[in-house]
């Protein structure tokens, strides 16, 4: 396997002799490896086998990444930063393409490894939540004037009208006969349908603008320097044009949950308002200058929106027979559904406080 990986790495414009290629981390989507070069003067690299089942247009995905990182690098240079450390650098293949396609149809891509950095797996303190908000906020702020078109490599992503179409079709088919078992859970979805569609209509109409969004805002997709400062946002496979509220809402869904996404003990699950406030402070410290009044108005709502969408998707997959998410037991998606719903209920109960926090933080910049 190592010889195969070395051969694949050799297809790219690597600076220096390749010493070793070894696995790095346990990615849920892509297979990731580090390419170590022989000389200290040469950089190391990240090699990834892209998941072609999820990303059906990898050439367009790589083109999106380069368009976005080029824009970021220009902004970083203009402010006197280091574009090779503060933004991803894609390394082309020797034929000039942004990827290499092997004989089995697998797609591979390489970028420079950014060394001397710190990554966190969980933002479980207000301090880290603040930095996470600041990191995604910086990313969005530097791209707020990005005007080039991006290919939609994840059609329907966070589009609740598209999700309802899937939902209605799944309920109509009920392929494994589970719908009758979850009448109460189905009611949760239907009770909020119109509220969610009213929000999405604002996006469709352009009242809420479309911007460049990251779409995977976990804290481990932000690299920090040794002093604890935000350095670089990584893992740009999912970058696309959408409302920036999707990034904020998705971060809140993951950051503020006091339990696990699939916590069987619902008593563990709630929204931590302190983490919500800290992330919001970090996020608005970078984004307050470009957010429109309508975006600001729906910032808190986006946390409910994304969490609701995830309740729907887990329940839909359970009814459909567990075809999308990997499950560890026949009830796993149902456990996920109930845990995410408990988080949504906690957000709904604290919604007035969430709105107040957003309003107070924005007033600091008025």
Report the candidate in 107, 109, 77, 72 with the shortest Cα–Cα distance to residue 88: 72
Assigned token pair, 317: 């997959």
Among residues of the chain, what percentage have pLDDT more than 70?
98
Rg (CA), the chain: 21
Reported confidence tier of residue 28, pLDDT bands at 50, 70, 90: low
Give the residues across from 148 on adjacent strands.
Answer: none
pLDDT band at 27 (very low <50, low <70, confident <90, very high): low
- Given a cut of 70, whether residue 163 has pLDDT beyond it is yes
194 burial (CB, 10 Å; 0-12 / 13-18 / 19+) is exposed
pLDDT tens by residue, 48-85: 999 888 898 999 999 999 999 999 999 999 999 999 99
pLDDT of residue 26: 63
Between 326 and 146, whose confidence is greater? 146
Cα four-point dihedral sign 336, 342, 348, 354 = negative
- What is the chain's mean pLDDT, rounded? 95
Q: Is the pLDDT of residue 94 over 90?
A: yes
Rounded CA separation 10/4 (Å): 10
Please determine, for residue 1, whether its predicted confidence score (pLDDT) is greater than 70.
Answer: no
* Mean pLDDT confidence for 256-268: 96
pLDDT band at 358 (very low <50, low <70, confident <90, very high): very high
| Alpha-carbon distances, residue 206 vs 54, 127, 242, 292 (angstroms) | 28, 34, 11, 12
pLDDT digits (tens, 9 = 90+) for 174-190: 999 999 999 999 999 99
Higher pLDDT, 30 or 278: 278
Residue range 214-253, pLDDT digits in tens: 999 999 999 999 998 999 999 999 999 999 999 999 999 9
- 228-237: pLDDT as tens digits: 899 999 999 9
């Amino acid at each position: 396997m190592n010889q195969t990986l070395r051969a694949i790495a050799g297809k790219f414009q690597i600076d220096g002799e390749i010493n070793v290629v070894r696995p790095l981390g346990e990615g849920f989507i892509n297979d990731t490896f580090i390419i170590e070069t022989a000389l200290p003067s040469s950089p190391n690299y990240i090699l990834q086998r892209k998941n072609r089942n999820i990303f059906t247009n990898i050439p367009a995905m790589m083109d999106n990444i380069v368009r976005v990182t080029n824009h970021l690098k220009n902004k970083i240079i203009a402010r006197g930063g280091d574009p090779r450390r503060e933004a991803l650098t894609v390394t082309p293949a020797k034929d000039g393409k942004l990827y290499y396609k092997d004989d089995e149809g697998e797609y591979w891509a390489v970028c420079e490894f950014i060394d001397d950095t710190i990554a966190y797996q969980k933002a479980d303190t207000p301090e880290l939540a603040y930095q996470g908000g600041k990191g995604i906020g910086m990313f969005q702020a530097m791209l707020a004037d990005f005007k080039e078109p991006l290919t939609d490599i994840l059609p329907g992503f966070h589009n609740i009208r598209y999700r309802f179409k899937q939902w209605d079709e799944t309920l109509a088919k009920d392929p494994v006969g589970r719908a009758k078992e979850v009448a109460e859970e189905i009611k949760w979805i239907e009770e909020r349908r119109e509220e969610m569609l009213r929000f999405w209509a604002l996006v469709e109409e352009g009242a809420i603008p479309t911007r460049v969004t990251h779409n995977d805002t976990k804290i481990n997709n932000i690299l920090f320097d040794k002093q604890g400062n935000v350095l670089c946002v990584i893992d740009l496979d999912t970058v696309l044009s959408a409302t920036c509220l999707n990034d904020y809402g998705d971060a809140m869904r993951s950051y503020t949950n006091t339990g696990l996404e699939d916590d069987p003990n619902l008593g563990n699950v709630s929204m931590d308002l302190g983490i919500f406030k800290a992330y919001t402070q970090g996020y608005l410290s970078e984004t307050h200058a470009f957010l429109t009044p309508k975006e600001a108005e729906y910032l808190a709502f986006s946390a409910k929106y994304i969490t609701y969408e995830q309740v729907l998707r887990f329940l839909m997959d359970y009814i459909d027979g567990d075809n999308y998410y990997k499950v560890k037991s026949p009830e796993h998606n149902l456990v996920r559904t109930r845990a995410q719903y408990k988080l949504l209920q906690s957000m709904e109960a604290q919604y007035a406080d969430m709105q107040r926090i957003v309003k107070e933080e924005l007033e600091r910049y008025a």
